[in-house]
C-alpha cells in the first residue's frame, strides 16, 4: 500500500512539474518583425507560385487580391517587394476562397509557317480543385519554406483594406513589440 501511495505521489508530482514547464502560447515569430524583403505570390496548395510565374490556374480574383496586398505593403513601407523569391526573406501568398474550381485547355502549337514538323505542345487539358470557402493569407520563411503565419476568413482578401492584411499587420506589430527590451 505504501509503495502504491509513493507511486501515485511521484506520478502526480511529475505531472505537475511537466505542466509548470509547458511554455505559454508562443507569440508571433520575430522574423515577421526583422525581415525586410518579401516576394508575393499564390498558394497553390502544394507550392508557392511567384506572382511573376503567372499561370492559368491563378484566378482573376486572386490576382486582384494580390494587387491589393501589394498596394498595402507599398503604403506601409515596412517591407520591400522583390521580384525573385530567392531574394526574399518572407514569401507572402494569397488564396481566394472557393469550394470548387474547374479548368480546361486544348493542344497548343502545330505546324509553323505552313510547313509540317513545327513545334507541338499540350496545354493543361483539364483540372479540378476543391478548396476552403475562406480566403487565406500566408507568410512563409523564404529560406526554409516553413509557415510563419496564416490567416483565414470569409472575404478576408476583399475590400481596399483587406481584413486578413490588417490581421497580419497586427501580428507584425506584436512581434515588433516583443522584440523591444522591457523596462524594469
N-term to C-term CA, the chain: 51
Q: Residue 58 has what pLDDT?
A: 86
Instruction: Tell me the average pLDDT across 134-145.
Output: 94
- The predicted-structure confidence for 27-62, as pLDDT tens digits, reads as follows 789 999 999 999 999 998 888 999 988 777 788 999
Could you please state the CATH topology (level 3) that the domain comprising 28-104+124-178 is classified under: Rossmann fold (3.40.50)
pLDDT digits (tens, 9 = 90+) for 105-123: 455 554 444 444 444 444 5
**Poorest-pLDDT segment among 30-34, 75-79, 111-115, 156-160:** 111-115
The three grid cell numbers given for residue 165, joined into one nine-digit string: 492584411
Per-residue pLDDT band at 182 (split at 50, 70, 90): low
pLDDT band for position 174 (50/70/90)?
A: very high
- Per domain, the residue ranges of the chain are 28-104+124-178
> Highest mean pLDDT range out of 7-16, 73-82, 121-130?
73-82
Asked if 141 contacts 32 with a C-beta cutoff of 8 angstroms, the reply is no
Grid coordinates given for 30: 520575430
CA-based radius of gyration for the chain: 24
Among the ranges 6-20, 89-103, 153-167, which has the highest mean pLDDT value? Answer: 153-167
Residue 34 in grid coordinates: 526583422
Alpha-carbon span 63 to 49, nearest angstrom: 12
- This prediction has a pTM of 0.69
On average, the pLDDT of the chain sits at 76
- Quick check: 7 pLDDT over 70? no
Q: DSSP secondary structure string, 128-148?
A: EEE--SSEEEEEEETTT--EE
- Residue 33: per-residue pLDDT: 95
pLDDT, greater one: 171 or 116: 171
Amino acid at each position: 500500500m505504501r509503495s502504491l501511495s509513493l507511486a501515485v505521489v511521484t506520478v502526480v508530482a511529475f505531472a505537475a512539474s511537466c505542466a509548470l514547464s509547458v511554455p505559454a502560447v508562443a507569440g508571433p515569430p520575430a522574423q515577421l518583425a526583422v525581415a525586410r524583403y518579401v516576394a508575393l505570390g499564390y498558394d497553390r496548395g502544394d507550392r508557392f507560385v511567384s506572382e511573376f510565374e503567372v499561370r492559368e490556374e491563378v484566378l482573376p480574383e486572386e490576382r486582384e487580391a494580390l494587387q491589393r496586398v501589394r498596394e498595402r505593403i507599398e503604403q506601409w513601407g515596412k517591407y520591400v517587394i522583390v521580384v525573385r523569391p530567392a531574394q526574399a526573406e518572407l514569401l507572402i501568398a494569397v488564396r481566394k476562397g472557393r469550394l470548387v474550381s474547374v479548368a480546361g485547355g486544348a493542344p497548343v502549337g502545330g505546324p509553323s509557317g505552313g510547313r509540317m514538323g513545327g513545334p507541338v505542345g499540350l496545354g493543361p487539358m483539364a483540372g479540378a480543385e476543391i478548396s476552403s470557402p475562406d480566403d487565406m493569407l500566408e507568410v512563409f520563411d523564404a529560406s526554409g519554406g516553413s509557415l510563419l503565419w496564416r490567416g483565414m476568413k470569409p472575404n478576408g482578401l476583399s475590400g481596399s483594406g483587406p481584413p486578413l492584411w490588417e490581421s497580419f499587420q497586427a501580428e507584425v506589430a506584436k512581434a515588433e513589440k516583443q522584440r523591444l527590451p522591457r523596462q524594469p
